[in-house]
């Protein structure tokens, strides 16, 4: 009993070790040699620790930004500014909220439920985008925890909900994906499907699919997005600097004192440094996420494809980019326009939501492809502006609940994960949990 | 309520209604593709890529997946751009992956899936100017 108690208290409660053991299981199931199993297990464990470090760095700058924003713009006693970053949400959930073990186990659970549903139903979609599954696992666990569930019931509910989203979201998008690719061989595995279908619906109503955006001559690439973190920095810097200037030196220095940050530096320079800290935090966090998933995801991808050989792989959104490259670029531009409009409307939720650049590229670009397929140029433009507003307002209304749960100055991006939260919150209200 | 075996209307519509398949003249397509080969050797850059794309499409329609893959990969080497080569390779890599999974060849399944992933990464990088 003492041994069991020791194992539970010292191993099974340690998220880093649990995550390492999941990778170990995945590698062992693939019959990898012992050395590879050991290396993969340790690298996954290190990945979680890198993620934790990144989340910690990110939080410092988010607390700073949230505090100076509240000094500059009074959005109400419980309001403020939040940055749309599903990566940050994942980081905080796994570390500060202590849900790392549950999220990792649920990630495996979602794979299992997806495989079961693909085998027993007509929907043979296997969701193979690792990062997206991690985000879905995060929201499913967080809101199952919010329902008051703990331990096995939490993991079971989160796995079932997440597994259903992983199976049925590709199915919902498939009619439009078939139109885009001209075949039924591949599916879309990206948890922004609800936003894409909204874009497609609007485009179909207002557009003409024969007038394609692919017939227009536009720049072939967005050099601005060449370096992810430079792009994020370029977008976030004006927010930090302008907010600091409006808040004023006294308010900014008071915030720094509260947070234990140096006040010997000029307040505008401090805002600049905190913006850099935000970007570095995101960089380190994403490095941790990639390392964490590097050994877990291939293991489960291989097992999934083996157990459901007639499956349709649901792949990350860049699989559609070659079919409509102009639409990707135009989709990004018009989704960004829409998200700026959405940002200006978002204070109705009590929070100003600052859009995520990379989310706008991938989700906006893919929405552009959907919009063009259903409504040509006009459908793409109007559909993507609506999409931009949609992907800002839907997370905005979830933000009060996220703040209540304990997230600091963050909200989600990928809308399907937001609807996972709404679904579980709906269950909470329905059953009075 | 939970009868998952019951076909939904949209799935039934796409599966039960027979779709007229175009008649494929394999030998004619292969001959046309072979006729392009000498022109490819003499060309460079975009012109070479255009010819390789055409060759790849003809071979893919003829069911010669391996030769089509080679043509499309060579096209991307000649001129890295979005278009027929990327679309062709997406479909062909997935086809080869499916065939390997059906044959229970784990190594080949992983190999073709990794090629698909690498192709997606490449298209993402290209649009971002990398």
pLDDT tens digits for range A6-55: 877 787 778 899 999 999 988 898 888 999 999 999 999 999 999 999 99
Residues of A in contact with B7 (CB under 8 A): 122
Mean pLDDT of A49-73: 92
Its domain, for residue B102, covers 22-128
H/E run at residue A188: strand A187-188
Cβ neighbours of B72 in A, within 8 Å: none
- Integer Cα distance of A202 and A207 in angstroms: 8
Tell me the pLDDT tens digit for each residue of A176-201: 999 999 999 899 999 999 999 999 99
pLDDT of amino acid A432: 78
Residues present in chain A in total: 433
**Least Cα separation, residue A219 to chain B (angstroms):** 10
| Beta pairing, strands A125-127 & A312-315 | parallel
- CA nearest to A366, candidates A378, A386, A380: A380
* CB interface of A with B, residues 117-156, below 8 Å: 117, 120-122
Q: How far apart are the first and last CA of chain B?
A: 50
Q: Using CA atoms, how far apart are residues A412 and A399, in angstroms rounded to an integer?
A: 8
Average pLDDT over residues B14-36: 73
Average pLDDT, chain A: 91
Q: What confidence score (pLDDT) does residue B22 get?
A: 59
Instruction: Give the separation between CA B37 and CA A322, rounded to whole angstroms.
Output: 25
Q: Which residue out of A117, A222, A318, A362 would a mutagenesis test of the B interface target, given it has the greatest number of B Cβ atoms within 10 Å?
A: A318
Instruction: Judge: B124–A321 Cβ closer than 8 Å, yes or no.
Output: yes
Question: In whole angstroms, how far apart are CA B113 and each of A99, A254, A298, B81, B92?
Answer: 32, 54, 10, 21, 11
Give the mean pLDDT of B94-102.
91
Cβ A306–B104 below 8 Å, yes or no? yes
* Distance in angstroms (rounded) separating the CA atoms of residues A322 and B90: 9
* Interchain CB distance below 8 Å, B95 and A185: yes
What pLDDT does residue B21 have? Answer: 54
Task: Quote the CA–CA distance of A126 and A109 in Å, as a whole number.
Answer: 14
Residue A91 phi/psi, 5-degree rounding, is -60, -50
A328 close contact with B: CB closer than 8 A: yes
Q: Is A183 helix (H, G, I), strand (E, B) or coil?
A: coil
Give me A418's structure tokens: 């937001």
| CA torsion through residues A69, A75, A78, A82, sign | negative
Helix/strand/coil for A345: helix
Alpha-carbon distance of A195 to A253, in angstroms, equals 41
Residue of B4, B81, B127 with shortest CB distance to A321 = B127
Nearest to A305 among B87, B113, B127 (CB): B113
- Predicted confidence at residue B127, as pLDDT, reads 78
Adjacent-strand bridge partners of A313: A126
Give the helix/strand (H/E) hosting B29. helix B26-42
Determine, yes or no, domain membership for B10: no
What is the structure's pLDDT at A78?
61
Contacts of A163 in chain B (CB under 8 A): none
| Residue A384 DSSP one-character state | H
Exposure b/e, B28-64, CB count within 10 A at least 16 = b: ebbebbeebeeebeebeeeebbbbbbbbbbbbbbbeb
Does the beta-carbon distance from B127 to A305 stay under 8 Å? no
Number of structural domains in chain B: 1
Is A315 at the interface with chain B, CB within 8 A?
A: yes
Segment A211-240, tens digit of pLDDT: 999 988 877 666 666 678 888 898 899 999
What CA–CA distance (Å, rounded) separates A60 from A274? 8
Structural Rg of chain B based on CA atoms: 18
The answer to whether A365 contacts B95, with C-beta atoms less than 8 Å apart, is no
Under an 8 A CB cutoff, do A328 and B10 touch? no
Angle of CA points B28, B30, B34, to nearest 5° = 115
Chain B residues with CB-CB distance to A164 below 8 A: none
Could you say which of A122, A224, A306 has the minimum Cβ distance to residue B101? A306
B100 part of a folded domain: yes
Q: What is the pLDDT of residue A223?
A: 67
Residues of A with CB below 8 A from B4's CB?
117, 120-122
* ipTM > 0.90 (yes/no): no
Q: What is the mean pLDDT of residues B47-69?
A: 95
Instruction: Report the relative pairing of strands A410-411 and A351-354 from DSSP bridges.
Output: unpaired
The answer to whether residue B16 scores a pLDDT higher than 50 is no
| A223/B104 Cβ within 8 A | no
Q: What is the dihedral of CA A216, A222, A223, A228, to 10 degrees?
A: -170
Q: How far apart are CA A107 and CA A112, in angstroms?
A: 9
Q: Is B102 exposed, middle or buried (0-12, 13-18, 19+ CB in 10 A)?
A: exposed
What CATH number does residue B98 fall under?
1.25.40
Compute and round to an integer the Cα radius of gyration of chain A. 22
Question: pLDDT at position B14, please?
Answer: 44
Q: How confident is the model at residue A82 (pLDDT cuts 50, 70, 90)?
A: very high
Helix, strand or coil, per DSSP, at residue B87: helix
3-state DSSP assignment of residue A354: strand
Q: Is A321–B121 a contact, with Cβ atoms under 8 angstroms apart?
A: no
Q: Is B36 on the interface with A (CB under 8 A)?
A: no
Q: Residue A126: enclosing H or E segment and its boundaries?
A: strand A125-127
| Residue of chain A whose alpha carbon sits nearest to that of B103 | A309
Q: Chain A contacts of B90, Cβ < 8 Å?
A: 181, 186, 319, 322
């Amino acid at each position: 009993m003492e041994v069991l108690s020791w194992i539970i208290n010292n191993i099974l409660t340690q998220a880093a070790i649990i995550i390492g053991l999941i990778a170990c299981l995945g590698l062992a199931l693939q019959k990898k040699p012992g050395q590879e199993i050991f290396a993969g297990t340790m690298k996954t464990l290190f990945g979680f620790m890198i993620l934790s470090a990144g989340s910690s760095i990110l939080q410092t700058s988010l607390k700073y930004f949230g505090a100076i924003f509240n000094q500059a713009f009074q959005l109400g006693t419980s309001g403020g500014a939040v940055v749309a970053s599903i990566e940050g949400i994942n980081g905080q959930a796994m570390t500060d909220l202590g849900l790392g073990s549950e999220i990792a186990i649920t990630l495996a659970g979602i794979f299992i439920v997806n495989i079961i549903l693909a085998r027993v139903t007509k929907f043979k979609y296997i969701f193979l985008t690792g990062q997206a599954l991690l985000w879905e696992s995060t929201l499913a666990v967080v809101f199952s925890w919010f329902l008051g569930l703990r331990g096995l019931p939490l993991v079971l509910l989160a796995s079932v909900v997440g597994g259903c989203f992983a199976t049925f979201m590709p199915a919902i998008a498939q009619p439009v994906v078939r139109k885009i690719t001209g075949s039924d061989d591949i599916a879309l595995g990206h948890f922004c499907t609800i936003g894409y279908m909204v874009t497609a619906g609007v485009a179909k109503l207002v557009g003409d699919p024969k007038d394609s955006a692919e017939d227009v001559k536009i720049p072939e690439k967005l050099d601005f997005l060449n370096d992810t973190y430079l792009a994020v920095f370029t977008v976030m810097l004006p927010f930090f600097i302008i907010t600091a200037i409006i808040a004023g030196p006294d308010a900014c220095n008071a915030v720094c004192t509260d947070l234990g940050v140096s006040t010997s530096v000029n307040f505008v320079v401090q805002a600049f440094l905190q913006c850099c800290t935000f970007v570095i935090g995101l960089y380190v966090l994403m490095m941790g996420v990639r390392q964490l998933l590097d050994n877990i995801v291939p293991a489960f991808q291989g097992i999934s494809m083996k157990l459901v050989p007639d499956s349709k792989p649901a792949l990350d959104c860049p699989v559609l980019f070659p079919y409509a490259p102009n639409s990707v670029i135009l989709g990004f531009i018009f989704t960004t326009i829409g998200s700026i409009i959405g940002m200006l409307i978002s204070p109705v939720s009590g929070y100003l939501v600052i859009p995520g650049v990379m989310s706008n590229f991938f989700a906006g670009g893919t929405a552009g492809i959907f919009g063009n397929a259903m409504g040509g140029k006009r459908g793409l433009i109007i559909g993507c502006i609506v999409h931009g507003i949609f992907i800002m307002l839907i997370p905005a209304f979830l933000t009060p609940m996220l703040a209540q749960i304990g997230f600091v100055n963050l909200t989600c991006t990928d809308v399907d994960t937001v609807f996972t939260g709404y679904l579980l919150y709906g269950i909470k209200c329905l059953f009075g949990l | 309520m939970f009868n998952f075996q019951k076909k939904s209307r949209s799935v039934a519509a796409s599966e039960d209604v027979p779709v007229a398949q175009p008649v494929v003249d394999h030998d004619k397509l292969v001959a046309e593709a072979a006729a392009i080969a000498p022109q490819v050797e003499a060309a460079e850059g975009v012109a070479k890529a255009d010819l390789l794309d055409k060759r790849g499409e003809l071979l893919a329609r003829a069911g010669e997946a391996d030769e089509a893959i080679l043509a499309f990969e060579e096209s991307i080497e000649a001129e890295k751009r979005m278009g027929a080569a990327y679309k062709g390779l997406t479909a062909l890599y997935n086809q080869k992956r499916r065939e390997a999974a059906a044959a229970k060849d784990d190594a080949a399944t992983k190999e073709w899936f990794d090629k698909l992933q690498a192709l997606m990464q490449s298209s993402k990088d290209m649009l971002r100017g990398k």
